Structure 1
Amino acid sequence: MLPADRRKHILEHILTQGSANTEALARQYGVSAMTIRRDLRLLEEQRRIQVTHGGAVPPSFLHEDLPYESKKVSCLGAKRAIARIAEKMVEDNSCIILDAGTTTLELALLLRNRHLTVVTTDLQIALILSQSPTVTVHTTGGFVERITGAHVGEAAMSFLASVNAAQAFIGTNVWDAAHGVATTTAVKQHLKRRMMQSAEQRILLADSSKYGVYSTWRVAGLADFSCIVTDAELAGEHREAVSAAGAKLRLADGVNFGSGN
């Protein structure tokens, strides 16, 4: 097989299967692992794949969480617009769950003068709300993950299992109609699912820059959320795809799309 044909087949495999292993590809095509690594590097230079340790994934694949400081300043205007919509959905004297993340952090800032009970895994959110005279805040406890500054693990899961909340506001780094909402570890997958199970309404807060990206551990389909709040920059074809997936979409400009409208 010619190198160009081999690279074409490798690319098709990665895009359809979601990943590829260097050693497995070497055995499949009867070439050395070094040859496969050269193929992968060339495809990466063409921005058609993303090389990982031991293989490759599609360019839209997120294999590990982004550092908190870089997420904090990314798409800040969109996150604040989403938070303003979400804040209007919260009723006074209710109990809500706030997932870890920079968009839920923006929501927390808007809730400081509300009469609420808030359960969160996010230490930054807990510190902000603990200064409010009208908000009762609970952290879940558990191991604190360094990259996110949030609780994870069995202790957090156990605490959330004891909660009956009106709403759970879930954050994500990746979402789209085909793959739903996913995360980078099984631990966070189970934690987000537990948050959703502990609330009557499950509301996804996700800015449009994260659409079309996916990751390994699927949390839920878009239709599993009561509502998805995003910014108005989400492209028209993506709005239609979300609606076709059975999800209710609310844009930060106040326009609603999808089922339930």
Structure 2
Amino acid sequence: METNLPWFGNERQAHIYKLIDELGNIKVSDMSKRFNVTEETIRRDLERMEKEGLLTRVHGGAVPLKKSDTEIPVLKRQNKLVMEKEAIASKAATFIEDGDIIALDSSTTTLRMTKHIKAKDVTVITNSVAVTLELANQKDITVITIGGYLLQDSMSFVGISTQKVIEDYHVDKFFFSCTGFDVNRGISEVHEMQAQIKKKFIAISDKLFLLCDYSKYGIKSLVRIDDLPNIDYLITDHKMAVNDVRNIRNLGVNTILAD
């Protein structure tokens, strides 16, 4: 065990801590299968680790210890679940047609979409600095950057001025991610200002595409953005549990599992 890690009651808790740091969140059911112990054992581990100030428990799992309005820095997020995000981004890009006006949020998955749309003739509206820079030199793509207050962790613009600018636009398709999504809680976000930006984009968009890997399912975060049935497409990966996919499809959501 690494010497710079906190003290743990057992080796399993140390591994759980490292997984949370790597993935951004974990589910009790996944940890139960991984370590071949009961879900109740994992819940006791998480309860003890939360008391030690090592994580924050959420419904069905746990997330890293952080302030409720703090995002995981974009440079850290973009190195997690790379294959899953790439598959989702590639599939999402197939829904974009020449002439579309699309909006992209500041998620790392939509950032990955940019390399798949560079040959298209589209207009992109975004509050993401990274997306703006990635598409800046594409002659067939018109990029509209929504300015405002800069969040350094996510390198994105938020705030009242950003929201007001968004209200004046119309979008054909909005591609976005979130902190967590759940059949009952719906779509939720850890950062309140990011949540408000996404709500504004949702309000002006004809079609909504939620891009989320399997690890985000069952996570109920601070700010609720919308109900799952209100989105047109959920694009996720093949690691989503069959029963979870069935429950989402029963809500009437077009659910696509990216290769």
**TM-score when normalising by structure 2:** 0.75
* Most deviating of 180-189 and 133-142: 180-189
| 2-structure distance, mates of 1:92, 1:51 | 53
Which letter does structure 2 place at the counterpart of 1:232?
Answer: H
CA contact (8 A) 2:71 2:191 kept: no
Deviation at 1:104, TM superposition (A): 0.1
Structure 2 CA distance for partners of 1:203 and 1:56, relative to 1, 3 Å? closer
Deviations 1:21-47 (A, max 9, x none): xxxxxxxxxxxxxxxxxxxxxx98721
Task: Determine if the alignment matches structure 1 residue 213 to structure 2 residue 219.
Answer: yes
Match of 1:60 among 55, 59, 62: 62
Q: Greater Rg, structure 1 or structure 2?
A: 1
Which letter does structure 2 place at the counterpart of 1:67?
Answer: P
Deviation at 1:52, TM superposition (A): 9.5
| 2-structure distance, mates of 1:146, 1:44 | 34
Match of 1:229 among 217, 226, 235: 235
Match of 2:170 in 1: 164
Deviations 1:163-195 (A, max 9, x none): 111100011121121211111133222211111
The percentage of aligned residue pairs carrying the same residue is: 23
Deviations 1:210-253 (A, max 9, x none): 11212110001111101110111111111122123332211113
Instruction: List runs of 5+ in structure 1 lacking aligned partners.
Output: 1-42, 254-261
Matches within 5 A, 1:68-87: 68-87=74-93
Structure 2 CA distance for partners of 1:133 and 1:186, relative to 1, 3 Å? same
Task: Determine if the alignment matches structure 1 residue 183 to structure 2 residue 182.
Answer: no
Matches within 5 A, 1:1-261: 46-48=45-47, 50=50, 57-58=57-58, 59-60=61-62, 63=68, 64-253=70-259
Q: Which ranges of 4 or more aligned residues in structure 1 deviate by more than 4 Å?
A: none
Deviation at 1:56, TM superposition (A): 6.2
| 2-structure distance, mates of 1:252, 1:52 | 38
Structure 2 CA distance for partners of 1:167 and 1:76, relative to 1, 3 Å? same
CA contact (8 A) 2:174 2:209 kept: yes
Deviation at 1:57, TM superposition (A): 4.3
CA contact (8 A) 2:179 2:190 kept: no
Deviations 1:66-102 (A, max 9, x none): 1212211111111111111111101101110001111
- The alignment partner of 1:83 has SS state of helix
Aligned CA-pair RMSD: 2.1
* Most deviating of 164-173 and 240-249: 240-249
CA contact (8 A) 1:152 1:188 kept: yes
Which letter does structure 1 place at the counterpart of 2:124?
Answer: V
Give the count of matched residue pairs. Answer: 210
Instruction: List runs of 5+ in structure 2 lacking aligned partners.
Output: 1-41
